[in-house]
A and B are shown apart, each in its own frame.
Chain A
Amino acid sequence: MAIRIQLDRLLLDRRMSLTELSDRVGVTVANLSILKTGKARAVRFSTLDALCRELECQPGELIAYEPGPSDVFEDGGEA
């Protein structure tokens, strides 16, 4: 996936752990890891809202585009 969720950088800047963020936004650590590793296929606005609120950032700071192979049109295969 060419879209990256830059959780690592933001967590480092805020000196916050993934577990703490998980507690604050109500998303499991497993799902946050899926987001962090770029395996997620979609992000709900509610999740984005909670992440931006707790990390005190704009969606643009959280999401980045890195040119690379895209799997948008894959169906059923491994991403």
Chain B
Amino acid sequence: MRFPKTSALGIRLPVNGRAGALAAANLKTLGPGSVSSLLKIALDAAYVLLALITGLMLILLVVGLFIPLDNLNITVSDSSGGRQLPMTRNLLVFGLGAISAYFGGFLLILRNLRKVFRTLTMGDPFRPENVSRLRQIGLILAVVTGGVWVAQGLVAARLAPGVMEPQGISDLLTPVFSILVVFVLAEVFREGARLRRESELTI
């Protein structure tokens, strides 16, 4: 929903000299040069970078299926020393697949965030589509976090027993909190979308 400019409504906001000018400059949230448009540029750059990394990882994954691994080893080490393990095809596919999925998940999150920001820069963020986008972000974040936790647990148990410490539930606290915040924000947007609709149909 586009709000009319205060000048068009004949309303003049109080501006007290320099302080008022500074406040007006700081409060610029929409339009060219605003906070949201700067964030959008950062998101676009991160999206392109992640797309390149994900693409590269997928290419490596495909290449990894065909390269000979007979003489390749991996070293698992900690402060007390290390040991060498043979590089198997399954291990390589698991590693590259996990990294590709990790970056792919964040790519999807950024894709949704960019769409949310596009609506914000247009001055109309409280749309029903943004509610589902935020829910998708929460869901992807949950899957990525859970996946990383399981993958690290597998590596600790299978690949490097005694070298890597197994994952604990406490490691999930911060990600779970972040996921919760995203879902709460989605509900806030849902209410915002409902209020927007109400105001649109108020004559």
Contact = CB atoms under 8 A, between A and B. Distances in A.
Interface of A: 27, 31-32, 34-35, 39-44, 47, 75-76, 79
A73 to B, nearest CB: 11
A76 B201 contact: no
Given A41-B198, A76-B197, A31 B203 contact: yes
Given A42-B198, A76-B128, A47 B203 contact: yes
B194 A75 contact: yes
B130 to A, nearest CB: 12
Interface residues of B, number: 10
B47 to A, nearest CB: 28
B190 A34 contact: no
A32 B180 CA distance: 43
A40 B202 contact: yes
Closest 10 CB pairs of A and B: A41-B201, A42-B202, A75-B194, A31-B203, A40-B203, A76-B194, A40-B201, A35-B203, A41-B198, A47-B203
Nearest to A51: B203
Nearest to B196: A76
A43 B203 contact: yes
A8 B114 CA distance: 46
A44 B194 contact: no
Contacts of B194: 75-76
A76 B200 CA distance: 12
A79 B201 contact: yes
Given A34-B203, A76-B131, A79-B201, 18 more contacts: A27-B203, A31-B203, A32-B203, A35-B203, A39-B201, A40-B201, A41-B201, A41-B202, A42-B198, A42-B201, A42-B202, A44-B202, A44-B203, A47-B203, A75-B190, A76-B193, A76-B194, A76-B197
Nearest to B195: A75
A34 B201 contact: yes
A43 B193 contact: no
A9 B198 CA distance: 26
Nearest to A48: B203
A75 B191 CA distance: 8
Interface string B164-203: 0000000000000000000000000010011001100111
Contacts of A34: 201, 203
6 contacts: A34-B201, A41-B202, A42-B198, A43-B203, A44-B202, A76-B131
